[in-house]
Amino acid sequence: MLNVEEIRRDFPILQRQTASGARVTYLDSTATSQKPLAVIEAMNDFYRRSNANIHRGVHTLAEESTALYENAREKIAKFINAPSARQIIYTRNTTESINLVAHTWARANLKAGDLVILTEMEHHSNLVPWHMLAAERGIELDFIPVTEDGLLDLDACRSLLTRGPKLVAFTHMSNVLGTVNPAAEIIRLAHEAGAVTLVDGAQSVPHFAVDVQALEADFYAFSAHKMCGPTGIGALYGKTSLLESMPPFLGGGDMIKEVKLRSFRPNSLPHKFEAGTPAIAEAVGFGAAVDYLSKVGMANISAHEHEITEYALERLEEIPGVKVFGPSADKKGGVAAFTLEGVHPHDVAQILDQDGIAVRAGHHCAQPLHEKFGIPATTRASFYLYNTKEEVDLLVNGIYKVKKMFG
Ligand code: C6P
């Protein structure tokens, strides 16, 4: 199990206070996680010692920086059990990873009338790229419904699959309901129906062990900043045969083997999809984040989050007027999105902030899901390896304070 007090010492930001003198209670890791010293120092060291452009120079610094960039790719591949680092494409984030698939694989393979299946619990980054393709190409979209208790309706999924979709793209874990979807089963069903699968792993990779080979995922997208790494970098995993058959994404330096005035030959994997000078220090930080999480142990992290979430749901549900969305703790990760009767979610978040409690309020980039539940917004608390039951108590006390202020 985790020694949370020791872990908290790894995160300098958790020691700070707000202007009012309150200690920071960070319950917003679903938006972005905090960064341990190991990540901050890896990036600092990179700029102090090794900074140079990659894949271009023969000098010592260029070779060092290239090695650091590529070593990080190896670590990331190992972290999700990808067969090869060639199958890890660096992107800016999950959003760009999904857009990469929509721009390359989908534009090369989908035509008017082809069906893409999504779910009602998707983040906008796994909705809007498909809306854009629907407008451009006339592809059809349909959605696996979400049940009242926040689960995907798998019977409805099976029936949608009889319509022969070309792609099934879904989130492994909802950023609002916290639902952990049965990814292996959905992928198996989708493959039986002849569809390619794309998994949005923005909320899964940071919180529990993900094995892309065991899942048999065709594409898997995630972001470094939600898993103790820096902003500005993410990854797309893909099966080699798919990645090799896809046209490049952006054109420019590094993604080519040869350029003539009127033509070019794309580079081999993974460089074919990485045009221009990439986020090199961020890749180094991403590698350090993966090292940090591996050292703590993903099984320990998910067990700790489960304990905190179970406690949080229990305590939140005690508060009259609070309604928590999503399934029970055994079917979800560390997310508790809730409404408080008679108080706008933004007011809840603002009053909690007076005591240093950081939560997010709004639709969390999942507007259709909120619409489904007939609400414009929720207040969302989310938990990670550094959160404690005492912080849950502070949240609960804060909500009682809000209730008192609003009578
Ligand atoms: N959700 C949240 O507060 P990016 O921004 O590309 O790193 O991640 C996008 C994304 C995609 N899918 C899911 C399930 C997500 O939760 C997110 C990011 C944050 O919920 C910021 S909106």
* pLDDT the model gives residue 20: 86
Atom of ligand 1 nearest to the CA of 234: 7
* pLDDT the model gives residue 19: 87
Task: Single out the catalytic residue among 64, 365, 368, 406.
Answer: 365
291 and 304 within one domain:
no
From the CB of 391, is ligand 1 less than 6 Å away? no
Average pLDDT over residues 274-282: 98
CA–centroid distance, residue 404 to ligand 1 (Å): 33
**Where is 228: in which H helix or E strand?**
none
Q: Find how far residue 406's CA is from the centre of its chain.
A: 35
Nearby residues of 167 by Cβ (< 8 Å), 6 or more positions away: 106, 110, 116, 117, 195, 196, 197, 198
Cα separation, 386 vs 407, in Å, equals 33
* pLDDT the model gives residue 3: 96
Atom of ligand 1 nearest to the CA of 95: 6
Cα separation, 395 vs 37, in Å, equals 26
CA–centroid distance, residue 261 to ligand 1 (Å): 40
235 and 206 within one domain:
yes
278 and 151 within one domain:
yes
393 and 276 within one domain:
no
Domain boundary among 247, 278, 295: 295
From the CB of 365, is ligand 1 less than 6 Å away? yes
By residue range, what is the domain housing residue 338?
297-405
Average pLDDT over residues 218-241: 99
| Structural tokens at position 283 | 């890749």
346 and 334 within one domain:
yes
Residue 56 pLDDT more than 90?
A: no
From the CB of 223, is ligand 1 less than 6 Å away? yes
Which residue minimizes the CA distance to atom 21 of ligand 1?
31
Q: Is 89 in contact with 235 (CB distance < 8 Å)?
A: yes
267 and 353 within one domain:
no
Place of tokens 């998994």: 199
Which residue minimizes the CA distance to atom 1 of ligand 1?
31
Domain boundary among 241, 269, 295: 295
* β-bridge partners, 90: 235
Beta strand ranges found along 165-289 (DSSP E): 167-171, 196-200, 219-223, 234-238, 256-260, 263-266
315 and 277 within one domain:
no
Chain mean pLDDT for the chain? 98
- Domain assignment present for residue 30? The answer is no
Domain boundary among 295, 313, 342: 295
From the CB of 271, is ligand 1 less than 6 Å away? no
Nearby residues of 291 by Cβ (< 8 Å), 6 or more positions away: 38, 75
- Domain assignment present for residue 129? The answer is yes
Active site residue 365: yes
Q: What percent of the chain has pLDDT over 70?
A: 100
From the CB of 181, is ligand 1 less than 6 Å away? no
- Domain assignment present for residue 8? The answer is no
* pLDDT the model gives residue 344: 98
373 and 241 within one domain:
no
Cα separation, 363 vs 380, in Å, equals 9
Cα separation, 155 vs 53, in Å, equals 51
Residue 57 pLDDT more than 90?
A: no
The string of pLDDT tens digits covering residues 130-168 is 999 999 999 999 999 999 999 999 999 999 999 999 999
CATH code of 344's domain: 3.90.1150.10
154 and 248 within one domain:
yes
Say if strands 335-340 and 322-325 run parallel, antiparallel, or are unpaired. antiparallel
Average pLDDT over residues 250-277: 97
- Helix-helix angle 183-192:154-161, to 10 degrees: 20
The string of pLDDT tens digits covering residues 12-33 is 999 999 888 999 999 999 999 9
**Where is 363: in which H helix or E strand?**
none
Average pLDDT over residues 186-206: 98
Which residue minimizes the CA distance to atom 2 of ligand 1?
31
- Domain assignment present for residue 12? The answer is no
* pLDDT the model gives residue 308: 98
The string of pLDDT tens digits covering residues 357-375 is 999 999 999 999 999 999 9
What is the total count of domains within the chain?
A: 2
* pLDDT the model gives residue 177: 98
* pLDDT the model gives residue 350: 97
Q: Is the pTM of this model over 0.85?
A: yes
155 and 276 within one domain:
yes
Cα separation, 80 vs 75, in Å, equals 9
Cα separation, 385 vs 184, in Å, equals 25
Atom of ligand 1 nearest to the CA of 225: 7
* pLDDT the model gives residue 407: 85
Atom of ligand 1 nearest to the CA of 28: 3
227 and 98 within one domain:
yes
Instruction: Place 1 in a pLDDT band, splitting at 50, 70 and 90.
Output: confident
Place of tokens 């600092």: 44
Which residue minimizes the CA distance to atom 16 of ligand 1?
175
215 and 71 within one domain:
yes
Q: What sign does the CA torsion over 16, 18, 22, 25 have?
A: negative
Nearby residues of 16 by Cβ (< 8 Å), 6 or more positions away: 24
| Structural tokens at position 33 | 């996680």
Residue 207 pLDDT more than 90?
A: yes
The string of pLDDT tens digits covering residues 382-398 is 999 999 999 999 999 99
CA–centroid distance, residue 194 to ligand 1 (Å): 28
